[in-house]
Structure 1
């Protein structure tokens, strides 16, 4: 990249504005919490023990699978993103990012031919590039990529496992992203938002002297997560970004992929709650889960407007505000225990109403299917 003493004004107008529409990102204090990137076993063991106690207390190992009777397996594991989004499209189409689902053949032969067929399907649905490609079964941002043209789509398909489904969804270009965790218990006329996570995409900014590799390693936060960012940008690590040029380090709004999470629960408003409650109640038997959204501006979101739903996660969703680097370990675990208490309470109430949920055999099959596919997905960029 050409080194510039100062960026021309016309370039500044085409550069993205980091965190546009979001509250200012607080970078004071430690960039990471002590436990943010612990192993799952080390972090979750008290939560797992609590969940075991809830199984005994409510006399039901599979109660979470009854939490959302209209979702495959309650949305706990191995659920289809496209099936769940399809429910939302029927009831709240203006709030859902349009998408199509593509099934790869069991014995694929021609990725280019598949890409041409997928492009035709996109056009038939009123969609065009760029789109976001992601697995229909998957979590934690696995296999999520921005696909800008037919060539990139063919490359994505070529690296995607055979006999598996993927989703191609309209790219919502807003910088602002959030996770909205919704709960409605039996007997309640209205649900509530119990957690709001603001997701900030990480950036470094060029100075016209240092390479991208040097900028990442020198950044207080990115330098601690270089194992996430360096491989993702391997083809341009030795380029020198222009002075002031923002370089986005992560595309997927997933904590495990390097996005920055902040607890925005204090920003929840009655208008926001009313809007998400209306959407949730318009869907059949949706009681517990998280809306992953992009939005124009935090003020409009607080007014219950200006947002687009990317995904809806059910019983397996997490209140991701716990990954705010200022959250104490004890509080993070306590909040997740409260989440599981609500989950089991809702699952028990639905079972008492006659919703038995997914059987153990089907649950194990779905779990194994998701775990087998996840390592085969294309790397998240």
Structure 2
């Protein structure tokens, strides 16, 4: 019997085709195993440049270069008004103590009304990565539940839901002496679905699906509240909302679709962020045709030095090419940091960065489960 392959849905007028593999051959590896060669390469570059934390000044106007623990609120606020026009509207809110949920809900609702934001909305932590704690909230009751599950006295963002099916991660680099920056990588993100048959429960559909069945440990906990629900015949059920591979989204390499028009637009936006040289913009778009023209997209998030060229998680990417590209981005990160150190920027010590990373990991474990 021929093994059924997952299909990649068309987004707009173009698509990149279905992958030859169901999963990346290294997608299920433990992160410590997969990233071990990158860590060794980082240490070699640290010896060459005489600094373990030199990448922390790759983006000198961003807290520790955006390497870890940076605030999304501060990142968005760093953009000029021209840059923020490309960002999905949001409000930033500091949750109170555990006994103040109703008070917090009232204050947050007032902020949302003042900003003209209406449900559905995207709730996400102010500090976090890998899609941790990201959820779509449809009404006031779901917003209250999110606040209750969120760590006390921590900041979160509530953002306009950009209702476009297309999503991409666009990785940008610009060396300090370069006249223009370039797109180092573009990843198209797709969101797996299962289709109801009127008889099987959602749990059964997930377990039987060729791809979802291999990632059931990601999907089943997220849908535990409706695992015994039976979708109607032909009813599609999206399994993941957050566009992150470790949450179960499917990634495809969109590098061949990068055009001069898109590269120019991303460079223009990047220059609205002071001293921004290395990072990734996560965008939602109406169609690939418009995206390739540098139009029809909205930024939902951007990251700095801790970003990754996520096209490596395309199921058809080989292990050799994944490491080649990860090594290349790491080398560029150190070289940009070295250029900034020459003009007086000094990175924080490793203890500071380790503390930020540990706090970020602690917060990730405390956030509400990702949708």
TM range (shorter): over 0.9
- Provide the residue aligned with 1:152 in structure 2: 142
Contact 1:22 1:176 in 2 (8 A): no
- Provide the residue aligned with 1:84 in structure 2: 75
- TM-score relative to the length of structure 1: 0.92
- Provide the residue aligned with 2:186 in structure 1: 196
Superposition map of 1:93-132 within 5 A: 93-105=84-96, 107-132=97-122
> Which residue, 177, 195, 202 being the options, matches 1:187?
177
Asked if 1:218 corresponds to 2:218, the answer is no
> Which residue, 34, 39, 56 being the options, matches 2:47?
56
The 10-residue stretch of structure 1 (81-90 or 224-233) with the greater mean CA deviation from structure 2: 81-90
- Provide the residue aligned with 1:252 in structure 2: 242
* Alpha-carbon shift at residue 200 of structure 1 (Å): 0.2
> Which residue, 345, 350, 356 being the options, matches 2:340?
350
Q: 1:251 to 1:123 in 2, by over 3 A?
A: same
* Alpha-carbon shift at residue 66 of structure 1 (Å): 0.2
Cα deviation, 1:274-322, whole Å, max 9, x if unaligned, reads: 0000111122100000001101100000000000001111000000000
Contact 2:187 2:251 in 1 (8 A): yes
Cα deviation, 1:245-281, whole Å, max 9, x if unaligned, reads: 1110000001000000000011100000000001111
Cα deviation, 1:118-173, whole Å, max 9, x if unaligned, reads: 01011112212221111111110100000111111111111111121111111111
- Provide the residue aligned with 1:264 in structure 2: 254
1-structure distance, mates of 2:271, 2:136: 31
1-structure distance, mates of 2:13, 2:279: 23
Task: Tell me the SS of whatever aligns to 1:33.
Answer: coil
- Provide the residue aligned with 1:296 in structure 2: 286
> Which residue, 329, 334, 339 being the options, matches 2:324?
334
- Provide the residue aligned with 1:366 in structure 2: 356
Task: Tell me the SS of whatever aligns to 1:95.
Answer: coil
Contact 1:111 1:155 in 2 (8 A): no
Asked if 1:135 corresponds to 2:89, the answer is no
* Alpha-carbon shift at residue 89 of structure 1 (Å): 5.5
- Provide the residue aligned with 2:28 in structure 1: 37
1-structure distance, mates of 2:162, 2:19: 30
- Kindly tell me the number of residue pairs found equivalent between the two proteins: 364
1-structure distance, mates of 2:286, 2:101: 35
> Which residue, 257, 279, 299 being the options, matches 2:269?
279
- Provide the residue aligned with 2:229 in structure 1: 239
Task: Tell me the SS of whatever aligns to 1:292.
Answer: strand
2-structure distance, mates of 1:291, 1:156: 25
The 10-residue stretch of structure 1 (234-243 or 94-103) with the greater mean CA deviation from structure 2: 234-243
Contact 2:19 2:316 in 1 (8 A): no
1-structure distance, mates of 2:340, 2:13: 37
| Unmatched segments (≥5 aa) in structure 1 | 1-16
Asked if 1:71 corresponds to 2:79, the answer is no
- Provide the residue aligned with 2:3 in structure 1: none
Contact 1:180 1:193 in 2 (8 A): yes
- Provide the residue aligned with 1:14 in structure 2: none
* Alpha-carbon shift at residue 19 of structure 1 (Å): 5.3
- TM-score relative to the length of structure 2: 0.94
* Alpha-carbon shift at residue 363 of structure 1 (Å): 2.3
| Unmatched segments (≥5 aa) in structure 2 | 1-7
* Alpha-carbon shift at residue 217 of structure 1 (Å): 1.3
The 10-residue stretch of structure 1 (355-364 or 109-118) with the greater mean CA deviation from structure 2: 355-364
